[in-house]
Amino acid sequence: MNASEMRTKNVEELNQELVSLLKARFGLKMQLSTQQSNKTSELGKLRRDIARVKTLIREKAGQ
């Protein structure tokens, strides 16, 4: 999901998105640690998405 799609969501929807991204990051980290997956680039993408969502939450909370 790109930033323009995320900007249309409200804070509650962004918090739900954040929780799902954190769960996905945890699952991917577990897969990488047990060598069930070799998608190391996905971890970086998830980290950037998490940071993007957190930034939008802070922006909307300041309004």
Q: Mean pLDDT over residues 52-61, rounded?
A: 93
**What pLDDT is stored for residue 6 in this prediction?**
87
pLDDT, tens digit, for every residue of 5-53?
A: 888 999 999 999 999 999 999 999 999 999 998 889 999 999 999 999 9
**What pLDDT is stored for residue 19 in this prediction?**
98
Residue range of the domain that includes 41: 3-61
Q: What is the CATH number of the domain that holds 15?
A: 1.10.287
Pick from 57, 56, 55, 45: nearest CA to 21: 45
**What pLDDT is stored for residue 32 in this prediction?**
93
Number of domains in the chain: 1
Q: What are phi and psi of 8, to 5 degrees?
A: -80, -15
